[in-house]
Every structure is written in structure tokens, then in C-alpha cells.
Homo-oligomer: A and B are copies of this chain.
Amino acid sequence: MPTYDEARTRVIELAQFAASRGWLPATSGNLSVRVSHTPLTFAITRSGADKARLRPEDVLLLDADMRVQGEGPYKPSAETTVHVALYQKFDCGSIVHVHTVYNNLASELYADRGFVEIRGHELVKALGHWEEDAVVRIPIVPNWADLKRLGWAVAEAAQADVPAVLVRAHGVYAWGDTPDDARRHLEAVEFLCEYAYKLHLARAGSPMIG
């Protein structure tokens, strides 16, 4: 487990990476790194900060009830509920949530089906699937306005062997044992969502990859 200071540095690094890709538009998105298990505490970006210009005080230390540990003027993002729900379900060490045009498009095109299915694509290895003919289904959940409900929905849909969940017309949550793992999973999901959309265009509506 990292210390709070280490976790804060990791959060800022994750934010700079995701911002450099344009994945945190209009101060959206949030990123976190777990600090302790029992009780749960984690470092997470505050609400409303521009992630490309994050300062140390923009990263808060929270507990499972979303109470800020320590002093400061800032409040946590309302979507912190989803991070809590995922940290409570899985033994993961880091969670990233970003908004991109392609994950939004994939979540919308395959919303009725409830998942984006990736079949026969090399990059599922980056999501932990090395078996031949692996099929990966990334779940899509509705964009519940009630953020407690959104947290439950994401955690309920989340599968142990697929480290990401799409929220329809909103964005993606991806996670991993370490910040680097979460980042690798996110990069793979973004690649696959862009690929799924562009293959869909070329095939005039074929609903699945592969």
C-alpha cells in the first residue's frame, strides 16, 4: 500500500497522462489510488479541478463514507460513490474514470445489448485474457442520476475478469491492482471502443467486433 503522499503523486501522474490524451475534458473525470484496506481510505481528485493542471491540494484523502481526512476547502467529486463501491467489491489498488467520444459512442451503440463484446482481438491480452479465442464483454450500465445508485450499478455489473464498466453516454470506469495496471486497462478499453465504433461504420451496423 502506498502512503497518502505517494498515492497523491500517483493520482497526479495518472491525471497528467489521461489529460494529455484529452480524456478528461471540461474538468470531467476522476482518478483514485487506494491507501488502506481496513478501514478503506483512498486518494482521489476533488470535484471540478482541471485535471491537466492538478495541484497537490486538489487530491483529497477520503474514507468509505466519503468524509475528507484532514483539512482543506475542497469537497470530493459526487461520483466518488462509484470508487467506494468498486474498492469495496474488489481488492484493486487504483480506479480511473474518464469521458471520451469513443467510449461514449460504444456505450450508446451497444446500450440495448448491455455490453461491448470483443472477440478475436489481440488487445484483450492487456485486459488479462491470454486464452485463445478469448471473448471479453465490457458491461454497459445506465447513467443513473442518483450517484449512490450509479455506484451500486457499476459495482454490480463489474466482473472480476473484465476490469472496466461503461456508463452510457457518460464514460468508463477502469481499475487495476496498481495505478499502472489501471492505466493499461484504460488504454486497452479506449483502443477497443474506438476500434469497435470504426469497424461498425465500415460494416454498416454489424453489432460485434471480430
Kindly list chain B residues whose C-beta atoms are within 8 Å of the C-beta of A101: 191, 194-195, 198
Copies in the complex: 4
A173 within 8 A of B: no
Query: Given known contacts A123-B26, A132-B145, A191-B25, is B198 in contact with A105 (CB within 8 Å)?
Result: yes
Chain B binder among A2-10, A65-73, A199-207:
A199-207
Report, as a range, how many residues of chain A touch the other chain. 35 or more
Kindly list chain B residues whose C-beta atoms are within 8 Å of the C-beta of A188: 25-26
Interface contact A104-B200, CB-CB below 8 Å? no
* Residue in B21, B122, B145 whose beta carbon sits within 8 Å of that of A171 in the complex: B122
A34 within 8 A of B: no
A159 within 8 A of B: no
Interface contact A109-B202, CB-CB below 8 Å? yes
Interface contact A123-B109, CB-CB below 8 Å? no
A160 to B21 Cα, complex, angstroms: 32
Interface contact B105-A26, CB-CB below 8 Å? no
Interface contact B123-A99, CB-CB below 8 Å? yes
* Residue in B27, B120, B123, B197 whose beta carbon sits within 8 Å of that of A198 in the complex: B197
Interface contact B202-A120, CB-CB below 8 Å? no
A184 within 8 A of B: yes
Fill in one digit per residue for A131-159: 1 if any B CB lies within 8 Å of its CB, else 0.
01100000000010100000000000000
User: Can you show 16 pairs from A to B with CB atoms below 8 A apart?
Assistant: A21-B22, A25-B126, A25-B188, A25-B190, A26-B126, A26-B187, A26-B191, A99-B191, A101-B198, A104-B121, A105-B195, A109-B202, A120-B169, A122-B167, A197-B202, A201-B202
